[in-house]
A and B are shown apart, each in its own frame.
Chain A
Amino acid sequence: MSILIVGVGNALRGDDGAGLAAARRVREKLAARQGAPAGGGGAPAGVPCLDLERITVLELSGGGMSLVEAWEGASLVVVLDAVQTGALPGSIVRVDARAEPLGSLRSGRSSHGVGVAEAVEVARVLGRLPARLIVYGIEGKSFALGADVTPAVARAVEEVALRVLDEVCLS
């Protein structure tokens, strides 16, 4: 069984890059653990449950459907994306997408031809969802081209990265 962690968004549109940034932080944390001397054989120190060989971290900025292509063969998929739900910037929402639809989430203003939520629902209809699909949404505030990342969103990125590590560890 393999694990895919995938961030989506557009890094040039301020908070829309939150999902990408979170994926990058997960990758960095995994790499740091891999490099830890006590971790012999690729197992990270202090987190013996993580088998790094089976974890892939991706950053995507194409349409939502490329997500469905990317997760083929993975049994646990964690999607990280910026969202706009009207909550406070930096709020984190976690959805178990096998259990409930993503209808309430509106992804950030990235150039997704088919949004993440719609792609997930198409995959559900076609029976192409992975065995476990978790979506983390980070509430963004500024999505303009060239906008700065909102500080609360930057903090949430860090928080989500940690929670994702826990998530895959407990799988």
Chain B
Amino acid sequence: MARAKRGTTIKVDTLARVEGEGAMRVRIRGGRVAEVQLRIYEPPRFFEAFLRGRRFTEAPDITARICGICPVAYQMSAVHAMEDACGVQVTGPLRNLRRLLYCGEWIESHALHIYLLHAPDFLGYESAVHMAKDHRDLVQRGLQLKKAGNDLVTLLGGREIHPINVRVGGFYRVPSPAELRPVAERLRWARDAALETVRWTAGLDFPDFARDYHFVALRHPDEYPFNEGRLVSSGGLDIAVREYEAYFAEEQVPHSHALHSTLAGRAYFVGPMARYSLNFDRLSPLAQQAAREAGLGPVCRAPFQSIVVRAVETLYACDEALRLIATYEMPDRPAVEVVPRAATGYGCTEAPRGILYHRYDLDGGGLVAGARIVPPTAQNQKVIEEDLREFVERFLDLPEERLAWQCEQAVRNYDPCISCATHFLRLHVERE
């Protein structure tokens, strides 16, 4: 870490622990934050163009390549959008299997973030490698938990590179109850481990920082949301997924190729904390109880506590997966038939990092004429910048090094996916 007297620039390479690459700059002038620039995520325009002219059945596999950590989310939004366009609704055991697959991805993604990316921030380690030296058992537990999710995704998704078993209309192959049994065995261990994770994260030190966010998430009449629901917000929004583009806007910002998403001209917040705060009553009793014991209310506005919320969601995903496996009946056929038609389809599902919106225009032959994809990190960029601005102003008196450390941690509160950016993430704090 370099220091200089005036025009201080601090570079912190450990921000590479946010998935992929990116850059962040905070400029301080006269004790005020003059500027915050976050350059972490470029919208997936390449993929939108790549999809044009492709068959509607190819979208799940193509969009799965946008993110190596959450391919299932891209597949799910894609299949729902395509089925919406074609007037098909997948129900019953096939729908439940999709939910089960999504449980696997949440467990995998959340466990990775909690234990290997975010925990080192809280415990004062530069990286997971450093942390593992002192907290071997903790890291082992995190990896084992992640593996329980991975087992589910592998069984249902059949992935080698990406989950290749998902298709428009359902799956290529569905598991037998016997195949699910050993997975359930590991999930029972994982549920206990997730409960331990909630308790452990609840005991971490959190900076005293909360904001009045505008939360946006899906909400379903009976379920904690994965695949379906209406788009609701803490500001009273309640719309169908197909109305998304009428309410949410993307604006170009000068310092970045990135677009900033806004709702009624304001930043909004997507991801675990938004889902949790808008759907606490839909969590399983076990997850609700664990959250209460961890000191969380039904609404959480403290972003550094997002690690606890992620742990609660991991617990829920294990619990829900076990429920789905216990009630599983093998469907008669692995997929329903989907006949393409000229139409526009809309899909929005809850990726581990928040709502992921897809829209496709199909021609009569089932070719994609247009595509629009809005990932969760693209939507959170504006609110992350606002967090940084307020955080730095409030904690300006902290030693430089500590402030930089906590700024990184503040970005990681969002588990941002920055795989589309083109620079390794570096933090610059400049004081004038």
Tell whether A and B belong to one assembly. yes
Q: Hey, which chain B residues are within 8 Å of A122, CB to CB?
A: 116, 128-129, 132, 139
Decide if A63 touches B147 in the complex (CB within 8 Å).
no
Decide if B117 touches A113 in the complex (CB within 8 Å).
yes
B window 125-149: CB within 8 A of A: 127-129, 132-133, 136, 139-140, 143, 146-147
Counting CB contacts under 8 A, is A59 at the interface?
Answer: yes
A window 2-32: CB within 8 A of B: 10-12, 20
> A35-43, A65-73, A162-170: which one contacts chain B?
A65-73
Partner of A61 from B140, B150, B162, B422 at Cβ < 8 Å:
B162
Q: Hey, which chain B residues are within 8 Å of A59, CB to CB?
A: 160-161
Q: CA of A118 to CA of B136 in the docked complex: distance in angstroms? A: 15
Decide if A146 touches B161 in the complex (CB within 8 Å).
no
Min distance, Cβ A37 to any Cβ of chain B, angstroms: 29
A window 45-81: CB within 8 A of B: 58-63, 65-66, 68-69
Q: Hey, which chain A residues are within 8 Å of B69, CB to CB?
A: 62-63, 111, 113
Q: Hey, which chain A residues are within 8 Å of B17, CB to CB?
A: 114
Decide if B129 touches A125 in the complex (CB within 8 Å).
yes
Decide if A61 touches B139 in the complex (CB within 8 Å).
no
Since A60-B160, A110-B419, A114-B112 are in contact, a sample of 7 more A-B pairs with Cβ atoms closer than 8 Å, ordered by chain A residue number, is: A12-B46, A60-B161, A61-B65, A113-B116, A114-B116, A115-B16, A122-B128
Ordered by A's residue number, 7 sampled pairs between the chains whose C-beta atoms are within 8 Å are A63-B19, A65-B143, A110-B68, A111-B67, A122-B128, A125-B129, A146-B50
Q: Hey, which chain A residues are within 8 Å of B140, CB to CB?
A: 126
Decide if B128 touches A114 in the complex (CB within 8 Å).
yes
Counting CB contacts under 8 A, is A158 at the interface?
Answer: no
Judged by DSSP, the binding face of B is helix
Counting CB contacts under 8 A, is B93 at the interface?
Answer: no
Judged by DSSP, the binding face of A is loop
Q: Most chain-B CB neighbours within 10 Å: which of A20, A114, A144?
A: A114
Counting CB contacts under 8 A, is B420 at the interface?
Answer: yes
Counting CB contacts under 8 A, is A109 at the interface?
Answer: yes
Q: Hey, which chain A residues are within 8 Å of B65, CB to CB?
A: 10-12, 61
Among all A-B residue pairs, the 4 with the closest Cβ atoms? A111-B419, A111-B68, A125-B132, A145-B46
Q: What residues make up the interface of B, taking CB atoms closer than 8 Å to A?
A: 16-17, 19-21, 46-47, 50, 65, 67-69, 71, 112-113, 116-117, 127-129, 132-133, 136, 139-140, 143, 146-147, 150, 160-162, 417, 419-420, 422
Q: Hey, which chain A residues are within 8 Å of B16, CB to CB?
A: 115
Q: What residues make up the interface of A, taking CB atoms closer than 8 Å to B?
A: 10-12, 20, 58-63, 65-66, 68-69, 109-115, 118, 121-122, 125-126, 143-146
Min distance, Cβ A122 to any Cβ of chain B, angstroms: 5
Decide if A111 touches B417 in the complex (CB within 8 Å).
yes
Question: Nearest residue in A to B113 (C-beta to C-beta)?
Answer: A113
Q: CA of A65 to CA of B129 in the docked complex: distance in angstroms? A: 12
Decide if A125 touches B68 in the complex (CB within 8 Å).
no
Decide if A62 touches B68 in the complex (CB within 8 Å).
yes
Q: Hey, which chain A residues are within 8 Å of B127, CB to CB?
A: 118
Q: Hey, which chain A residues are within 8 Å of B419, CB to CB?
A: 110-111
Q: Most chain-B CB neighbours within 10 Å: which of A59, A62, A114?
A: A62
Decide if B150 touches A113 in the complex (CB within 8 Å).
no
Decide if B112 touches A63 in the complex (CB within 8 Å).
yes
Q: CA of A98 to CA of B160 in the docked complex: distance in angstroms? A: 26
Question: Nearest residue in B to A12 (C-beta to C-beta)?
Answer: B65
Decide if A69 touches B19 in the complex (CB within 8 Å).
no
Decide if A118 touches B417 in the complex (CB within 8 Å).
no
Min distance, Cβ A119 to any Cβ of chain B, angstroms: 9
Q: CA of A110 to CA of B65 in the docked complex: distance in angstroms? A: 10
Q: CA of A113 to CA of B143 in the docked complex: distance in angstroms? A: 14
Q: CA of A58 to CA of B46 in the docked complex: distance in angstroms? A: 27
Min distance, Cβ A36 to any Cβ of chain B, angstroms: 25
Q: CA of A60 to CA of B417 in the docked complex: distance in angstroms? A: 18
Q: Hey, which chain A residues are within 8 Å of B161, CB to CB?
A: 11, 20, 59-61
Q: Hey, which chain A residues are within 8 Å of B47, CB to CB?
A: 145
Decide if B146 touches A125 in the complex (CB within 8 Å).
no
Decide if B68 touches A126 in the complex (CB within 8 Å).
no
Decide if A109 touches B129 in the complex (CB within 8 Å).
no
Partner of A144 from B20, B71, B128, B422 at Cβ < 8 Å:
B422
Contact A109-B132, Cβ < 8 Å, known A62-B68, A69-B147, A146-B46: no
Contact A58-B160, Cβ < 8 Å, known A10-B65, A146-B46: yes
Contact A109-B117, Cβ < 8 Å, known A61-B162, A118-B128, A126-B136: no
Decide if B19 touches A113 in the complex (CB within 8 Å).
yes
Decide if B112 touches A65 in the complex (CB within 8 Å).
yes
Q: Hey, which chain A residues are within 8 Å of B422, CB to CB?
A: 109, 143-144
